């Protein structure tokens, strides 16, 4: 059965659905070609595919524990996500001198009228190496099942070559912590 015969059957047997279908088709065409907006999200091409930029930038992190790379993807999803998310946040805060991007927005919205300790209470968490490692070491030890003697975290920046294959552009040591106990 083709689409035209489907519409003719719905016209005879189900007039309300036929009218809705015609209005939806005409509305979709008008919105797509004249207004340049989509009626329904599943018609948006950019939602599913887009041209991959030539000089695309990607970043990741690498965790080295006791001289061996720690693969967080071998953990349960939630545990690995917690570690990766907090490492990413730590790297972000370290690169931005401990300030969250919303720190300045909140100060601007409040007109900088609140005392500084208020902003510090909201935004300062795990931004120093000692606070971060104090949390990270026991959490990773519980997943790693070994005593941790050293932790290194690298921030890795990737670029794409002409064949869209990623290559390491820069690797930066963000945290290098040794433990005595």
Residue with tokens 């209005």: 23
> Can you say whether residue 96 is alpha, beta or left, with left for phi > 0 and alpha for psi between -120 and 50 degrees?
alpha
Write out the H or E segment, with its range, that includes residue 167: strand 166-178
Mean pLDDT rounded to a whole number for the chain? 80
In this structure, the number of other CB atoms found within 10 A of the CB of residue 61 comes to: 18
Q: Where are the domains of the chain?
A: 3-47, 57-178
pLDDT in tens, 130-159: 788 888 888 888 887 788 899 999 999 888
Q: Is the confidence at residue 33, as pLDDT, over 80?
A: no
- For residues 20-32, b (16+ Cβ closer than 10 Å) or e, as one string? ebeeeeeeeeeee
Residues 177, 92: contact at Cβ < 8 Å? no
Return the pLDDT at 164. Answer: 76
Least confident of 28-42, 49-63, 109-123: 28-42
Residues 144, 66: contact at Cβ < 8 Å? no
Return the pLDDT at 126. Answer: 45
Return the pLDDT at 154. Answer: 94
Query: Between vectors from CA 152 to CA 148 and to CA 157, what angle results, nearest 5°?
Result: 150
With a CB cutoff of 8 Å and minimum separation 6, the contacts of 127 are 90, 93, 94, 98
Number of helices (H), then strands (E), in the chain: 6, 4
Residues 139, 131: contact at Cβ < 8 Å? no
Which band of pLDDT confidence, cut at 50, 70 and 90, is reported for residue 50? low
Q: Is the confidence at residue 57, as pLDDT, over 50?
A: yes
């Amino acid at each position: 059965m083709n689409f035209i015969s489907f519409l003719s059957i719905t016209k005879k047997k189900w007039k309300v659905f036929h009218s809705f279908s015609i209005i939806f088709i005409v509305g979709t065409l008008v919105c797509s070609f004249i207004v340049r907006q989509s009626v329904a999200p599943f018609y948006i091409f950019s939602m599913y595919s887009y041209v991959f930029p030539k000089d695309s930038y990607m970043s990741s992190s690498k965790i080295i524990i006791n001289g061996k790379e720690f693969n967080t993807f071998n953990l349960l999803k939630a545990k690995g996500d917690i570690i990766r998310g907090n490492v990413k946040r730590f790297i972000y805060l370290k690169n931005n001198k401990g300030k969250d991007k919303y720190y300045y927005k909140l100060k601007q919205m409040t007109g900088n009228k609140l005392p500084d300790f208020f902003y510090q209470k909201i935004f300062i968490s795990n931004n120093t190496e000692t606070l971060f490692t104090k949390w990270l070491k026991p959490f990773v030890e519980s997943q790693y099942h070994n005593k941790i003697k050293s932790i290194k975290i690298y921030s890795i920046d990737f670029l794409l070559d002409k064949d869209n294959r990623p290559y390491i552009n820069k690797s930066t040591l963000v945290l290098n912590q040794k433990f005595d106990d």
